[in-house]
A and B are shown apart, each in its own frame.
Chain A
């Protein structure tokens, strides 16, 4: 790594990073602080940044206020996992085809995939609702999984394709000369070498699936037992009052699985995003 910044530049860089991090992390910090306060303290005036009666009470109370909370968290992880697995099943062969094969309308269809990414799911909610209703999938897990998969496949193809393109073509030619079929080569040569790329794409898809559930859940699903966490959080909003502290506690608990995954996969993510940049 070249380190040729002057002191002044370094101060500037760190200042910029600090501002950026504060912007990103402050909401989480505030969530955490809110989750520790008793409810009545949240509305105290003047606002106290630090109070002496912090407690983790909300973290145990939340399970009673919303009895299905555990189920919601499970649903969130389950839906995101199912979306990720299904998406990868479609993305791997598609990305390989885009990386290696020649077929009509290849660039055109890639451009369309990019175009699809520009629509948010929200624009298509009403037609999607009609589709899901006519095939009878409303109020099932599938109602949240299928649209999720559909919207994540294009991103997955774009990400994985560029990774697969960096695998030397000669490796596949060598396998071909030795008699291996395309699928054998994909399984024994390409995919093992693409593992970091697969992890990157899988993680990106999982996070995308986790984030987009809310919209599909509140639109396509009325069954309480099937709701993912973001929709389930609504139950902390009661007729009389909102238990903000418990809601924040539940939200943080729900983010935890994603955070853990991120921590474990961090080294792959960094390696994957820079792979091929330097010749080994």
Chain B
């Protein structure tokens, strides 16, 4: 005697209309270059990325694009809500999400670095027993210091990390550095590089197997466009 589930008919349609492949793209800094690359790879990309629709179908309907917050892209991909995504290596490593990462993409170059006050750059890093670190990357920061045998006091912030040392809330920061201008303007100097960052193509582990033909095709085209 089995008791079958009651089906809600309206949700059936939502599942049916899901395009064969869902691609999560990061809003903001990486968005334009991601779209350029996909266009060069011959994928039909959505025209109006500022549309209020959450899922934008490509013109031939073969791919749906989701414009997501950059920090959410690895999450969407790990859960299989999106099959493929583009994000920065910094975001991917900080997220700790388990995904495949077949290709690195030629944009979004920067580095994740430790920076400290200009006047005594190395002191907190080398000699403080418990340096205070302001960062948007608590996981990577903690790991970097732990590997050096230091239990840092990691202070998680969501922006303007440079303020930490300026306001004497933190001794050091761990943050993304592109040119170093922002650091310089705040009296900070780069001390160590934790991670060389660039954009990366990520794939859900199940989708990599179950949709291998579409995904391998996509990887192939993107690889040629790099």
Whether A associates with B in a native complex is: no
Q: Which residues of A contact B (CB under 8 A)?
A: none
